[in-house]
Amino acid sequence: MSDPKDRLFRHLAMLRLIPRAPRSISTTELLDRLRAEQFDIDLRSLQRDLAGRLSLDFPLQCDESQRPFHWSFAKDTPQFNLPALDTPTALAYVLAESHLGKLLPPSVMSLLAPHFDLAHRQIQGLQCNNLARWAKCVRTVPNGKALRPAEVDPAIWSEVATALMEQRQLQIHYLSRSKGEHKVLRIHPAGLISRHSVSYLIANVEGYTDARQFALHRIKQAVCLDTPACEQPGFEIDHYIHSGGFNNPGPVEQHSLIADVSPQLAWLLGETPLCVEQRLQPLPDSDWHRLHAQVPNDQETLWWVFGLGENIRLHAPDSWAHLIKARLDATASLYEHTLPALANACQEAT
Distance CA 105, CA 100 (A): 9
**Pair (184, 214) in one structural domain:** yes
Least-confidence region, from 95-104, 177-186, 204-213: 95-104
- The residue out of 242, 263, 297 marking a domain boundary is 242
pLDDT digits (tens, 9 = 90+) for 286-344: 999 999 999 988 888 898 899 899 999 999 999 999 999 999 888 888 888 665 554 55
**Pair (268, 303) in one structural domain:** yes
**Pair (276, 320) in one structural domain:** yes
Q: Chain-centre distance of CA 331, in angstroms?
A: 34
pLDDT digits (tens, 9 = 90+) for 224-275: 999 999 988 888 888 888 776 666 555 667 889 999 999 999 999 999 999 9
**Pair (109, 182) in one structural domain:** no
**Pair (321, 273) in one structural domain:** yes
Helix then strand then coil, % of the chain, to nearest 5? 45, 25, 35
143 within some domain: no
**Pair (258, 341) in one structural domain:** yes
With a cut of 80, say whether residue 133 has pLDDT above it: no
**Pair (59, 94) in one structural domain:** no
State the residue range of the domain holding 14: 4-73
288 within some domain: yes
80 within some domain: no
pLDDT digits (tens, 9 = 90+) for 74-117: 887 766 655 556 677 777 777 788 777 777 777 677 777 877 88
189 within some domain: yes
Distance CA 209, CA 204 (A): 6
**Pair (160, 223) in one structural domain:** yes
Distance CA 313, CA 305 (A): 9
Neighbours of 212 (CB within 10 A): 16
Q: Which CATH number characterizes residue 32's domain?
A: 1.10.10
Q: What pLDDT is recorded for position 201?
A: 94
Contacts of 313 (CB under 8 A, 6+ apart): 259, 260, 261
149 within some domain: no
**Pair (301, 236) in one structural domain:** no
**Pair (335, 260) in one structural domain:** yes
Q: Which CATH number characterizes residue 336's domain?
A: 3.30.70
With cut-offs at 50, 70 and 90, classify the pLDDT of residue 170: very high
Q: What pLDDT is recorded for position 250?
A: 57
193 within some domain: yes
**Pair (60, 108) in one structural domain:** no
**Pair (225, 262) in one structural domain:** no
Q: What pLDDT is recorded for position 1?
A: 42
Q: What pLDDT is recorded for position 314?
A: 94
Least-confidence region, from 117-126, 156-165, 169-178: 117-126
- The residue out of 17, 47, 73 marking a domain boundary is 73
With a cut of 70, say whether residue 350 has pLDDT above it: no
148 within some domain: no
36 within some domain: yes
Q: Put the strands of the sheet holding 182-195 in their side by side order.
A: 212-215, 198-205, 182-195, 168-175, 219-228
With cut-offs at 50, 70 and 90, classify the pLDDT of residue 21: confident
Average pLDDT, stretch 180-186?
88
User: How many domains does one find in the chain?
Assistant: 4
pLDDT digits (tens, 9 = 90+) for 31-83: 998 888 778 788 988 888 888 878 877 788 888 888 899 998 888 776 665 55
